[in-house]
Amino acid sequence: MSATASPSKIGAEVALEMYRQMTRIRLFEEQANELYRGAKMPGLTHLYIGEEAVAVGVCSALRRDDWITSTHRGHGHCLAKGAEIDRMFAELLGKEAGYCRGKGGSMHIADHENGNLGANAIVGGSAGIATGAAFSAKRRGTDQVAVCFFGEGALGQGLVYEVMNMASLWTLPVIYVCENNMYNEYTHYLEATAGDILSRPRAFGIKADEVDGQDVRAVFARTIEFVERARAGGGPAFLLCNTYRYHGHHVGDVDRAYYRTKDEEALWRSDERDPLRVLGTWLLAQGFVDDDALKAIEDDARAEVESGVQFALEAPYPDPSQVTEDVFA
Amino acid sequence: MSATASPSKIGAEVALEMYRQMTRIRLFEEQANELYRGAKMPGLTHLYIGEEAVAVGVCSALRRDDWITSTHRGHGHCLAKGAEIDRMFAELLGKEAGYCRGKGGSMHIADHENGNLGANAIVGGSAGIATGAAFSAKRRGTDQVAVCFFGEGALGQGLVYEVMNMASLWTLPVIYVCENNMYNEYTHYLEATAGDILSRPRAFGIKADEVDGQDVRAVFARTIEFVERARAGGGPAFLLCNTYRYHGHHVGDVDRAYYRTKDEEALWRSDERDPLRVLGTWLLAQGFVDDDALKAIEDDARAEVESGVQFALEAPYPDPSQVTEDVFA
Amino acid sequence: MSSPSAVDAATGTRTLTFGQAVNEALAEEMRRDETVFLIGEDIAEAGHPFKVLAGLVEEFGPERVLDSPISEQGITGLGVGAAMTGLRPVVDIMFGDFLTLVLDQLANQAAKAHYMSGGKLRVPLTLRTTLGATRRSAAQHSQSLQAWVAHVPGLKVVLASTPADAKGLLKTAIRDDNPVVFIEDKMDYVVKGEVPDGEYLIPFGVADVKRVGEDVTIVATSSMVRVALAAAELLERDGISAEVIDPRTISPLDEDTIVRSAEKTGRAIVVDEGHQRYGVTAEIASVIADRAFYALDAPVKRMGAMDVPVPFSPTLEDVTVPTPDTVAQTARQLCGKD
Amino acid sequence: MSSPSAVDAATGTRTLTFGQAVNEALAEEMRRDETVFLIGEDIAEAGHPFKVLAGLVEEFGPERVLDSPISEQGITGLGVGAAMTGLRPVVDIMFGDFLTLVLDQLANQAAKAHYMSGGKLRVPLTLRTTLGATRRSAAQHSQSLQAWVAHVPGLKVVLASTPADAKGLLKTAIRDDNPVVFIEDKMDYVVKGEVPDGEYLIPFGVADVKRVGEDVTIVATSSMVRVALAAAELLERDGISAEVIDPRTISPLDEDTIVRSAEKTGRAIVVDEGHQRYGVTAEIASVIADRAFYALDAPVKRMGAMDVPVPFSPTLEDVTVPTPDTVAQTARQLCGKD
Ligand SMILES: Cc1ncc(C[n+]2csc(CCOP(=O)(O)OP(=O)(O)O)c2C)c(N)n1
Ligand SMILES: Cc1ncc(C[n+]2csc(CCOP(=O)(O)OP(=O)(O)O)c2C)c(N)n1
Ligand SMILES: [Mg+2]
Ligand SMILES: [Mg+2]
């Protein structure tokens, strides 16, 4: 598979599937935003729009039985790892048909069948879980790998360093994927992050590298290398993906002028950086597809999202009696 | 003062005072061990013997109004920062005349008047306190510095990285002194510490360096540089001191063969590495003193320790009614 | 009500939200004492995600209103050291659920330093955090963990239920020479109330009788006081007169006021939004059952949050917390009028 | 006593220390199920600072008995992930005082994962730690923090008082599909007791009547059971017959057995070594006071550790915990025979 380990060598099939997945995420999140604005969604949610290439590039390099742990901004990870749109919307709306029977909501969607050990509302909170899953794979002698998605804000949590140290000591098959979208909520990451990010994992003896998080082919290629290395017993790695969230920290964060400029937002939404455009342009240039084909992918995804949200809106809420279920296994 | 910043330039006065302090610590600890073996001391204690050059070299570079935070192996730090032997023994024995009225004991001796914010029985637990003291100095516009003493085992605690990040972001006058005596209790530090120690603080943008922890002049010189830099607003630093504890992890740890060899112990107790011999030899070679002078220093220290322990043994225990005092200020 | 009596120089009053009252208390104490500073996540320009701290960085500058990394344990530890050395930190922990991350610095360091040092070290630290469910924030952003900190000797724990109490109690917390955990209900920030003009403090350990009654005592904390008062209105219609008592600080706890009321009414219900099992209601109920034993006509009832992680779905979350109806129903049963 | 009844295939018994019983339970479960592994500080060659794990690394190897860095939060988090993915970790937290460092992984992750995932994720994790004062270890190495974890829905909490119970309960904990916090008194490790031969398990939620009596019920946990039994002997001389009940698991709590005993005797004392305020004694006492209300002849009394940080000096530390004398004295007063 290392043949594919260079972006240029990625074939049409893989690239088109990644385009499809990124499109599904983009449209899912736009719909989620609509649900909020239409006061149909309980609480708030954190949109992944703009960062699609990270989840899709990474998860396209994984097997179904590989594990991921996710974050409060987890819809992209969840879809990219194989979740169904309808049951995800159902969970966002707190319906019984949701992945967690409505008990978890947006910040806690888990999809065990597809290897998603759950979104996590504690920043950095899943670093130990991913590392433990990698420990489990090694201990049980499988060649599974675990991927820990986290935002750059999680670099403030001591837990991350405690577990990176153990992952390195015990050469565990875990890949720490840092999604640096430049903001910890409303604070620029440079105000909260001293020194050099890549030097941190490296100080613990962990192989670390940086990639353009808007270029799904680059993310995919780099992840494949780290995954193959981990499967082969090469140990942990750290992938820093530079990216950007187009929307607010959460759906309610609409006035952002006090912490970032419209110009900055426009720059990242441009054809040169938008992950869908970047891949779309490449697909066209390669002659893998024409505009109609891309349009068709988008139409299919839109239809899937529309039927999915309908399903969720019509689905029943859990009966109050279920509140005491699932406390203990 | 940077004239003294080279070991060779250290004058007789400073060197002799450091010899005196190291001798006091050595004899204090030997007496503490006797108290334990004589069943006169409640609980256990962790001896600093072998590591004297670290506490003395560092604290000799500090002012009385500078702060230190200490560890479970804290007698050396406490004495080097100016504490009195008699009240320290009294605290070790749980007597009312002790530094903490008998409430703290060996693992919690604090000596606020001399800038010692306290020993700490939580490994790494004082890293935040030292960093906060440095923050306080900067905020209040004084030129005080804070020193955080900790063993290499504390590198396993996430807190240490959380506060180093802030110390670097806010250029706080704090110096992290890592006493690497090679063992976390009964486990060799290499089994618990991945990568490279100095790379860790450096990853957070903190100036870091390594020194022979058995050579008090080297520790002193390096500390002076870091302290002057911090006072001048140059920010935090990290000093890795390679050292060794001659005795067990605590006084009860006498059969150590399963985790380290007698040869290794002998090597570190040798004339080339014992901090007292190393400095003594140098003092003689410089012609600063003769054997009688060193003997006199030792005799004085011995007398101080003997009267100190007598005082403590005769001192009364706190009245039980004091148990409810000092819960709240 | 004891708060007015505790008010000095109060002339008139103004209507403020709970959030504004908290903001005012912080601003007043920061003007009064320049050793007071705030540290937390997104508290400067952003004025805190709940907007409670809006305007403070503009008045006091970034040296006294610090945006921190996402390092709860670290900022609490830094606060402990700063407090030991001449400053009065107010550490902001966005959600009470994150107390899980700061307990070592809070319980093993801040709470014990004064005692372990034989009275030498002092830790005048205020840790502000939040509690409360029904915000559709799910299990890791909805807990009310006051029982944990109230169990720790050396910590004082404040739960305010009105803007006026919040302001007076927070000012007292900041001036206290000990570590104080000040917990605010996220859902209260927009709730309005009358706040006395001028400078005033409210002492710790003094419960406030929010409503005088004869038939049943309802001891309630934080926003549960509002629930209890609403329940009292419902009970009024059934001819049951409920007395509502707000301890305001659960540590120290004003046992006398609570016990006297229970002795007067002979019936008591304790309501708190923390989980019921091993929660705040257990301590207060057992104190009443012990000290008012010979005056009680019925067993003391406890109403905490249901003992399940807080679920996301509205139909589930709504049944996990006490409501005016469930409190009133419990009172009716106690009074044999159901 | 329900433990024998819960014993299957038990033939004779052997005398073991509490520490040996714990060691045996771990060894048996590790032989039985190779997904069980141990992780903690100095637990391999050193066999744990308290020597409780001696010999395990020799039998099971370093892959299943892991010496970890000093990273309590990290090893607990690693345990949660390993538990979710097919292993049964037994995480060793040397001193219960360090629960302060692991509560996020324990309370926000392990305890909630099953519920938040709608029953999909399982966390069969056992966390072993210690409690107890009077070891002259001072404030940061002497706490009994079981009230904290018992307050968290989704966690089970075990406190064993005898070698036999420790073995049977620990085996049950390891086989349980939920996170279990198993807390041992450091002072108990050398205490000897009879342990049934052969394989046996002790179910959770079943209190054990350690001594049958008629005049007063003493509910005690962990090593306080020994204190209660010693007090019962003293009371015997004064003609007071005390019943001693050991809940064995405080979550789930066997309320029925406790309440029935209190109804029988009409008097109850609850003894636990955690701090009294907002502690374990509050929950159990309020349950008794509520459910046995009409059968009680006197108020339920609580005896926890004094509400001060644990002091180092022997003359101070010794007065902070319940003793046979103080428990007996409280019982005499309750029975009006002092
Ligand atoms: C331990 C913890 N502290 C604070 C929060 C509140 N919070 C939620 S998201 C967030 C910012 C996270 O930033 P980052 O990790 O970069 O992820 P992003 O939102 O940018 O994807 C914060 C502070 C939390 N959920 N958990
Ligand atoms: C948080 C925490 N975990 C575990 C312990 C138990 N413990 C006491 S000392 C020690 C080893 C510390 O090693 P190091 O930091 O190198 O200091 P040293 O004893 O070598 O001076 C351990 C694990 C503790 N006191 N605190
Ligand atoms: Mg971010
Ligand atoms: Mg060491």
DSSP D41-79: TT-STT--TTSTTTTHHHHH-TTTEEE--S-HHHHHHHH
CA separation for the pair B97, D123 (Å, rounded): 50
CA separation for the pair A83, D14 (Å, rounded): 55
Active-site residue, from D48, D114, D141, D275: D141
pLDDT tens-digit series, residues A213-224:
999 999 999 999
Position A7 scores a pLDDT of: 82
In terms of CA atoms, which chain B residue is nearest residue D72? B157
- Cα-to-centroid distance, A156 and ligand 3 (Å): 11
Packing angle of the helix pair A12-37, A85-92 (nearest 10 deg):
30
Q: Is the pLDDT of residue D2 over 70?
A: no
Position B5 scores a pLDDT of: 64
pLDDT tens-digit series, residues C211-254:
999 999 999 999 999 999 999 999 999 999 999 999 999 999 99
Residue whose CB lies within 8 A of the most ligand 1 atoms, among A184, A186, A190, A260, for a mutation test: A184
Position C338 scores a pLDDT of: 84
Position D3 scores a pLDDT of: 47
Are B108 and D312 in contact (CB < 8 Å)?
yes
Which of C137, C141, C315 is closest, CB to CB, to A320? C315
Question: Which secondary structure element, helix H or strand E, spans residue B175, and what is its range?
Answer: strand B174-180
Residue whose CB lies within 8 A of the most ligand 1 atoms, among A52, A73, A185, A186, for a mutation test: A185
Are A327 and D122 in contact (CB < 8 Å)?
no
Position C9 scores a pLDDT of: 52
CA separation for the pair B95, B317 (Å, rounded): 4
Q: Establish if C137 touches chain A: CB-CB under 8 angstroms.
A: yes
In terms of CA atoms, which chain A residue is nearest residue D66? A170
In sequence order, what are the residues at sequence separation of 6 or more whose Cβ sits closer than 8 angstroms to the Cβ of residue C337? C238, C239, C240
- Cα-to-centroid distance, A99 and ligand 2 (Å): 43
In A43-196, the DSSP E strands lie at 67-69, 146-151, 174-180, 183-184, 187-188
Are B132 and C74 in contact (CB < 8 Å)?
no
Are C312 and A43 in contact (CB < 8 Å)?
yes
> Of all residues in chain B, what percent are helix, strand and coil, respectively (each to 5)?
50, 10, 40
Instruction: Report which of B149, B147, B168 is spatially closest to residue B62, judged by C-alpha positions.
Output: B147
CA separation for the pair D318, D316 (Å, rounded): 6
pLDDT tens-digit series, residues D204-243:
999 999 999 999 999 999 999 999 999 999 999 999 999 9
- Note every long-range contact of D42-48, with CB atoms under 8 Å and residues 24 or more positions apart, other chains counting: D42/B184, D42/B185, D42/B186, D42/B187, D42/D67, D42/D94, D43/D67, D43/D92, D44/B187, D45/B186, D45/B187, D45/B258, D45/B259, D46/B185, D46/B186, D46/B187, D46/B258, D46/B259, D48/D92, D48/D94
Q: What is the 3-state secondary structure (H, E, C) of B96-121?
A: CCCCCCCCCCHHHCCEHHHCECCCCC
Q: Do residues A104 and A45 make contact, with C-beta atoms less than 8 angstroms apart? A: no
Atom of ligand 1 nearest to the CA of A152: 16
Q: Tell me, what amino acid is at A39?
A: A
CA separation for the pair B89, D192 (Å, rounded): 36
Q: Do residues C275 and D301 make contact, with C-beta atoms less than 8 angstroms apart? A: no
Residue whose CB lies within 8 A of the most ligand 1 atoms, among C42, C43, C70, for a mutation test: C70
CA distance to partner chain C, nearest, from residue A74 (Å):
15
Position B8 scores a pLDDT of: 78
Average pLDDT score over residue span A29-53: 98
pLDDT tens-digit series, residues D260-280:
999 999 999 999 999 999 999
pLDDT tens-digit series, residues B206-258:
999 999 999 999 999 999 999 999 999 999 999 999 999 999 999 999 999 99
Ligand 1 site residues (CB inside 6 A) read A 46, 72-73, 121-123, 151-154, 181, 183-185, 249; C 41, 70, 72, 94, 98, 101
pLDDT tens for chain B, 329 residues: list them.
Answer: 344 568 878 899 999 999 999 999 999 999 999 999 999 999 999 999 999 999 999 999 999 999 999 999 999 999 999 999 999 999 999 999 999 999 999 999 999 999 999 999 999 999 999 999 999 999 999 999 999 999 999 999 999 999 999 999 999 999 999 999 999 999 999 999 999 999 999 999 999 999 999 999 999 999 999 999 999 999 999 999 999 999 999 999 999 999 999 999 999 999 999 999 999 999 999 999 999 999 999 999 999 999 999 999 999 999 999 999 999 99
- Cα-to-centroid distance, B191 and ligand 2 (Å): 15
pLDDT tens-digit series, residues C8-22:
455 799 999 999 999
Chains interfacing with B (3 or more CB pairs < 8 Å): A, C, D
Question: Which secondary structure element, helix H or strand E, spans residue B208, and what is its range?
Answer: strand B207-212
In sequence order, what are the residues at sequence separation of 6 or more whose Cβ sits closer than 8 angstroms to the Cβ of residue B285? none
Give the model's confidence band at D1: pLDDT under 50 very low, under 70 low, under 90 confident, else very high: very low
Cis peptide leading into D252, omega within 30 of 0?
Answer: yes
User: Which residues pair with residue B207 across a beta bridge?
Assistant: B237
Instruction: Report which of C328, C245, C330, C336 is spatially closest to residue C292, judged by C-alpha positions.
Output: C245
Q: And the tokens for C253?
A: 């706890």
CA separation for the pair A50, C161 (Å, rounded): 42
In sequence order, what are the residues at sequence separation of 6 or more whose Cβ sits closer than 8 angstroms to the Cβ of residue C127? C76, C79, C90, C91, C93, C102, C106, C179, C180, C181, C182
CA distance to partner chain B, nearest, from residue D190 (Å):
17
Q: And the tokens for D126?
A: 């056992």
In sequence order, what are the residues at sequence separation of 6 or more whose Cβ sits closer than 8 angstroms to the Cβ of residue B39? none
Q: Are strands B187-188 and B207-212 parallel, antiparallel or unpaired?
A: unpaired
Atom of ligand 1 nearest to the CA of C140: 25
Q: Do residues B312 and D295 make contact, with C-beta atoms less than 8 angstroms apart? A: no
Q: Do residues B175 and B226 make contact, with C-beta atoms less than 8 angstroms apart? A: yes
Q: Is the pLDDT of residue A4 over 60?
A: no
Give the model's confidence band at A5: pLDDT under 50 very low, under 70 low, under 90 confident, else very high: low
Q: Establish if D154 touches chain A: CB-CB under 8 angstroms.
A: yes
User: Which residues pair with residue D271 across a beta bridge?
Assistant: D220, D303
CA separation for the pair D89, D91 (Å, rounded): 6
ipTM score assigned to the predicted complex:
0.98
Are C136 and A155 in contact (CB < 8 Å)?
no
Are C316 and A104 in contact (CB < 8 Å)?
no
CA separation for the pair B138, C67 (Å, rounded): 17
Which of D69, D74, D138 is closest, CB to CB, to B121? D138
Percent of residues, chain B, with pLDDT higher than 90:
97
CA separation for the pair B277, B270 (Å, rounded): 8
Position C297 scores a pLDDT of: 98
Q: And the tokens for C244?
A: 């509502």
Q: And the tokens for A260?
A: 């970032």
Distances in Å between the Cα of D239 and the Cα atoms of A5, D261, D332, D336 are: 84, 19, 10, 12
Give the model's confidence band at D281: pLDDT under 50 very low, under 70 low, under 90 confident, else very high: very high
pTM, 2 dp: 0.98
pLDDT tens-digit series, residues A310-320:
999 999 999 99
Q: What is the 3-state secondary structure (H, E, C) of B144-165?
A: CCEEEEEEHHHHHCHHHHHHHH
Position C135 scores a pLDDT of: 96
Query: For B249, which DSSP code?
Result: S
pLDDT tens-digit series, residues D80-132:
999 999 999 999 999 999 999 999 999 999 999 999 999 999 999 999 999 99
Q: Do residues B189 and B180 make contact, with C-beta atoms less than 8 angstroms apart? A: yes
Position B9 scores a pLDDT of: 83
Q: What is the 3-state secondary structure (H, E, C) of chain C?
A: CHHHHCCCCCCCEEEEEHHHHHHHHHHHHHHHCCCEEEEECCCCCCCCCCCCCCCHHHHHCCCCEEECCCCHHHHHHHHHHHHHCCCEEEEECCCHHHHHHHHHHHHHHHHHHHHHCCCCCCCCCEEEEEECCCCCCCCCCCCCCHHHHHCCCCCEEEECCCHHHHHHHHHHHHHCCCCEEEEEEHHHCCCEEEEECCCCCCCCCCCEEEECCCCEEEEECCCHHHHHHHHHHHHHHCCCCEEEEECCEEECCCHHHHHHHHHHHCCEEEEEEEECCCCHHHHHHHHHHHHCHHHCCCCCEEEEECCCCCCCCHHHHCCCCCCHHHHHHHHHHHCCCC
Flag residues of chain C having pLDDT under 70: 1-10
Position A182 scores a pLDDT of: 98
Are A135 and D82 in contact (CB < 8 Å)?
yes
CA separation for the pair A177, A193 (Å, rounded): 17
Position C10 scores a pLDDT of: 54
Q: Whose CA is nearest to atom 25 of ligand 1?
A: A122
Rg of the Cα atoms in chain D: 20
Q: Which of A95, A100, A108, A129 to mutate to test the interface with D (most CBs of D within 10 A)?
A: A129
Chains interfacing with D (3 or more CB pairs < 8 Å): A, B, C
| Coil, strand or helix at B314 | helix
Active site residue C114: no
Q: Establish if D309 touches chain B: CB-CB under 8 angstroms.
A: yes
CA separation for the pair A196, A193 (Å, rounded): 8
Q: Is the pLDDT of residue A89 over 60?
A: yes
Distances in Å between the Cα of D252 and the Cα atoms of A134, C17, D61 are: 32, 41, 34
Which of A42, A95, A327 is closest, CB to CB, to C136? A42
Mean pLDDT of chain D: 96
Torsions phi, psi for C87 (to 5 deg): -110, 165
Rg of the Cα atoms in chain B: 19
Q: And the tokens for A224?
A: 């494949």
CA separation for the pair C191, C223 (Å, rounded): 10
Position A8 scores a pLDDT of: 78
Q: Do residues B130 and B107 make contact, with C-beta atoms less than 8 angstroms apart? A: no
CA separation for the pair D278, C221 (Å, rounded): 15
Q: Is the pLDDT of residue D5 over 80?
A: no
Instruction: Report which of C178, D138, C121 is spatially closest to residue B103, judged by C-alpha positions.
Output: D138
Q: Cβ atoms within 10 A of the Cβ of D13, count?
A: 15
